[in-house]
Structures are given as C-alpha cells and as structure tokens.
C-alpha cells in the first residue's frame, strides 16, 4: 500500500492482469520497451498515478487497465 514508484526491469514482457490493482499510493510508472502487453485491470484504481511512460513496442492494453486514475498529468507514448 505504500508503493509510490515502479521501474519495471527490461526482462519483463507482460504486465499481468490485476498486477497493481488499487495501488492507490502509486505515483509514477516507467514501462520498458520489452513490455508488449498490459493485462486487464493492471493499474485499475491507482488514483494517485500522475505519470505513465509507454514504449513504442506496446501492442495491447487490456480492459480497464487504467480506470480510476484521477490525477494523471503526463503520458508519454
């Protein structure tokens, strides 16, 4: 519940369903180019998330993956 920032290692190719579901303290996420899929509800309810950086290699974002994010200020694609 106190996780505020995530740096996903380059060995990760998929962020699974419900991975960070309702992690409301999460502020920032950096997704490496190795990630091609973000699963359903992965970041659902991460209401404090303000920054997301998506790689060009991303092919699929699951259903409701980013629902419930209210403070998003910066998205990089």
pLDDT in tens, 5-52: 888 999 999 999 999 999 999 998 889 999 999 999 999 999 999 988
Average pLDDT over residues 49-61: 91
Burial class of residue 15, CB neighbours in 10 A (0-12, 13-18, 19+):
buried
Most distant pair of Cα atoms in the chain: their distance: 30
CA–CA distances in Å: residue 22 to residues 16, 55, 63: 14, 23, 15
pTM, whole model, 2 decimals? Answer: 0.87
Identify whether the C-beta of residue 23 lies closer than 8 Å to the C-beta of residue 3: yes
Q: Measured between alpha carbons, how far is 51 from 29 in angstroms, rounded to an integer?
A: 6
Whole-number pLDDT of residue 29? 87
């Amino acid at each position: 519940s106190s996780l505020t920032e995530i740096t996903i290692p380059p060995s990760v190719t998929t962020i699974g369903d419900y991975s960070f579901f309702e992690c409301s303290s999460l502020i920032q996420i950096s997704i490496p180019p190795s990630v091609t899929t973000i699963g359903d509800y992965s970041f659902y309810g991460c209401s404090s998330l303000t920054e997301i950086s998506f790689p060009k290699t991303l092919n699929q974002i699951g259903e409701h993956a980013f629902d419930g994010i209210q403070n998003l200020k910066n998205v990089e694609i």
